[in-house]
Each structure stands twice: as structure tokens, then as C-alpha cells.
């Protein structure tokens, strides 16, 4: 196992950082935070032209044929620069499940359009419990003359307000085992009976309530096999958790860089505050959290990219990184003093995303339960 970046990954990392620093400054981030769509179509198109949407898709579907670790490198830079928009939803929550479980017809229909930036997708999974387990899926899909009728409400669906399709997890059969009887459908987000409502969130990301009332979908929209969709969901959640960790590692690195630069420049009592031991230890603690998070995230990504079992590594990474990002941004705010807590300061942008990222795809307690199971308890 070699976790050093390859020459190509270093180039991807540098080009992504340079591009986002120029094309997605914090002024644009704040503007998009306050908009209803939450993304810039012009920026989205330029990202597609760079091949980012199709980075991990096979070349025969118009992609770049890169690995999951390559995607993690890109996600880290997106977190570093704070990229708003539906990239995560479309690629991680949409394209990867279709690539893994879709029929050849579905792959040919969806993946080239995703690679070109012509489609936005998302995963409609969580419901009233806001948990990521099979028991939480109660939205029903009932067979009806070669089609299925879907009824239910999904909560905290990312980017549903701009999505063209939803990967909707439904219950198609009552079963004593919650994992049985779940089926995933590709639902046209503009179908009659689909209604979304934007939710107010701490990070100002575009999470939605999606109500599905008698939404009719053809049988051909089924992703994978009938009643066997939980494997698709669980595999997607593992990759999503690691991708979110990479995004948080990037954000934590940015918060550390901002804090260190400030500590060097801010003079108090006739000397830079970075010369005081308390500030040095704060920065050292931040750096420790960043490096630990990066290592365990890339280790989990490496195992997933090799097709190796990685349930424990994914949960270790998400449990640690989600909380570490919060610790880093809180220390960054303390180093800055009162200014670091204001809405206008960049540190607060990272702080808000740290609080949201900690909860997405399972919080620390959720993943510690999985780790406990994996060690035999």
C-alpha cells in the first residue's frame, strides 16, 4: 500500500486548487449560499469541460477512467475551496450507483450525459428519522400494470431543487429483515406528484424535503434487482462517507492554513501571536487532526478503490474526521478571537460546513456503533 499521490494526482490536485481559487472565490460562495439554486450553471459547465463530472466513469461512457482515489483527491480540493453545488450529489450519489448497479441501457442513457454536465442527480434516502439504516426506509413503491407507484416523503435530500433525477430508495415488500424488500428507482424529478421544499440549514446548503404522491415510474427505471436495493444503498453510503471525509479534510486544511497565516501576521504585546505557546499548541492540535483525518480517509478510499472490504475503515474515517473538522474550525475561531465567529469571516464558512458534514452519512455515534460491531462487540 502506497498512499503517496501519483504524479497525475499531484497535477489534478494543483490544477483543481488553481481553478477553484480563480473561478469560485469566497464572494461567489456567499452569493450561492444565498441563492435558491445554490450553484452557478456557468461554473458547472466549465467543470464539465475539465472532465470532472466524468472523472471516474469509464471512457466508453465519456468519462476519464480514473480511480476512486482520484475522485477523493478532487473532493479534498473542493472542500479546501468550498465548492457549492450538486457535484457531490450528481457524481457520488448518482453516477457511482448507476455505474455499479445499473443495466447497460441505464448506463448508456445516464452516464454520458452526466459526464457532459447535462444531468444533475441526487439520492433520496433519509426520511423522518433522518438515519441511514434500512429500518428508516418507509416510502412505498407498489407494482401497477408494468409500472410502480411511489408514495412517501424524503427529507434532507441534497440538491433536489435542481435535480433532473432522483435515486429514490423505496420499500417494495414487507419483511422481517429491514434490509430485504428495498428497491431503488430512477425517478424523473419533474414527474407529476414530485414536490420539493427547500429546508433552512446551518451550512446554507440546498437540502430539501421531497414529497412523492402517486408518482408513476416505469419498471425499466428500477436500479438493480427488485427487493435487493439495500446493497446499492449501503455501498453508496460507504463511498459517500469517504468522499465527504475528503471534502472535510480539505476544509480542515484550509482552516489550518488561515489560522497559521493569521498567527504569523497578528501582532499583540509587541510580537506575533504565533510566538505564544498557547497559539502554537492550538495550531499543532489542528495539524494533528488534519493529518490523522487525511491518512484514515485515503486508507479507506484506497481499500474501496481496490474492491476490498472497508466497512470498518470507512466508519473509523467518518467518526474521526467529522468531529476533527469541527475541532479544527473551533480552534481556528479561537485563534482569530471575535472576528473568527462573524458571518463575514471565511473561518465561519468552514465552521458551518464542519457542523453539517459531521452529521451527513452518519455522525460519530452512528459510525462508532459500526466499528464496535466490526471488532466483535
Note the pLDDT tens digit of each residue in 144-173.
988 999 999 999 999 999 999 999 999 999
List Cα–Cα distances, 356 to 158, 186, 325, 353, in angstroms.
Answer: 12, 27, 10, 5
Burial class (CB in 10 A: 0-12, 13-18, 19+), 279: buried
| pLDDT classification of 203: cutoffs 50, 70, 90 | confident
**Region 126-152 average pLDDT:** 94
In the prediction, which pLDDT does 246 show? 98
Q: Which three cell numbers stand for residue 204?
A: 446554507
| pLDDT classification of 182: cutoffs 50, 70, 90 | very high
| pLDDT classification of 360: cutoffs 50, 70, 90 | very high
| Locus of grid cell 457524481 | 91
**Region 175-201 average pLDDT:** 94
**Region 327-345 average pLDDT:** 93
In the prediction, which pLDDT does 201 show? 87
- Give the separation between CA 56 and CA 68, rounded to whole angstroms: 6
Mean pLDDT of the chain: 96
In the prediction, which pLDDT does 146 show? 87
| pLDDT classification of 359: cutoffs 50, 70, 90 | very high
pLDDT in tens, 77-107: 999 999 999 999 999 999 999 999 999 999 9
Predicted confidence (pLDDT) at residue 288 exceeds the cutoff of 90? yes
Predicted confidence (pLDDT) at residue 1 exceeds the cutoff of 90? no
In the prediction, which pLDDT does 343 show? 86
In the prediction, which pLDDT does 176 show? 81
Predicted confidence (pLDDT) at residue 2 exceeds the cutoff of 80? no
- Cα of 90 vs its chain's centroid, Å: 10
Please give the domain boundaries of the chain with CATH numbers for all domains: 7-119 (1.10.540.10), 123-228 (2.40.110.10), 231-374 (1.20.140.10)
In the prediction, which pLDDT does 3 show? 78
Predicted confidence (pLDDT) at residue 27 exceeds the cutoff of 90? yes
Amino acid at each position: 500500500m502506497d498512499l503517496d499521490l501519483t504524479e497525475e494526482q499531484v497535477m489534478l490536485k494543483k490544477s483543481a486548487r488553481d481553478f477553484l481559487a480563480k473561478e469560485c472565490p469566497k464572494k461567489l460562495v456567499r452569493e450561492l449560499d444565498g441563492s435558491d439554486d445554490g450553484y452557478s450553471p456557468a461554473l458547472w459547465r466549465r467543470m464539465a469541460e475539465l472532465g470532472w463530472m466524468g472523472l471516474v466513469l469509464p471512457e466508453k461512457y465519456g468519462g476519464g477512467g480514473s480511480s476512486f482515489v482520484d475522485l477523493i483527491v478532487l473532493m479534498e480540493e473542493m472542500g479546501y475551496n468550498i465548492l457549492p453545488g450538486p457535484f457531490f450529489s450528481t457524481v457520488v450519489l448518482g453516477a457511482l450507483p448507476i455505474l455499479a448497479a445499473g443495466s447497460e441501457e441505464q448506463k448508456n442513457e445516464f452516464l454520458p450525459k452526466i459526464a457532459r454536465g447535462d444531468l444533475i442527480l441526487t439520492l433520496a434516502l433519509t426520511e423522518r428519522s433522518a438515519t441511514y439504516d434500512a429500518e428508516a426506509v418507509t416510502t412505498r413503491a407498489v407494482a401497477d400494470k408494468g409500472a410502480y407507484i411511489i408514495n412517501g416523503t424524503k427529507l434532507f435530500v441534497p440538491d433536489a431543487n435542481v435535480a433532473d433525477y432522483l435515486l429514490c430508495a423505496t420499500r417494495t415488500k414487507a419483511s422481517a429483515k429491514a434490509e430485504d424488500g428495498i428497491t431503488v428507482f430512477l425517478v424523473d424529478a419533474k414527474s407529476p406528484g414530485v414536490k420539493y421544499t427547500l429546508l433552512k440549514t446551518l451550512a446554507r446548503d440546498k437540502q430539501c424535503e421531497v414529497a412523492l404522491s402517486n408518482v408513476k415510474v416505469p419498471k425499466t427505471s428500477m436500479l438493480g434487482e427488485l427487493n435487493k436495493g439495500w446493497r446499492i444503498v449501503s455501498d453508496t453510503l460507504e463511498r459517500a462517507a469517504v468522499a465527504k471525509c475528503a471534502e472535510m479534510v480539505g476544509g480542515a486544511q484550509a482552516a489550518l492554513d488561515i489560522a497559521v497565516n493569521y498567527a504569523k501576521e497578528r501582532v499583540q504585546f509587541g510580537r506575533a501571536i504565533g510566538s505564544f505557546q498557547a497559539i502554537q499548541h492550538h495550531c499543532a492540535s489542528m495539524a494533528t487532526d488534519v493529518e490523522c483525518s487525511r491518512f484514515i480517509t485515503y486508507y479507506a478510499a484506497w481499500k474501496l478503490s481496490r474492491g476490498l472490504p472497508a466497512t470498518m475503515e470507512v466508519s473509523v474515517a467518518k467518526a474521526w474526521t467529522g468531529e476533527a473538522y469541527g475541532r479544527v474550525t473551533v480552534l481556528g475561531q479561537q485563534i482569530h478571537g471575535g472576528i473568527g465567529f462573524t458571518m463575514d469571516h471565511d473561518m465561519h464558512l468552514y465552521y458551518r460546513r464542519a457542523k453539517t458534514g459531521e452529521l451527513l452519512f452518519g455522525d460519530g455515534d452512528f459510525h462508532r456503533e459500526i466499528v464496535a460491531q466490526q471488532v466483535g462487540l
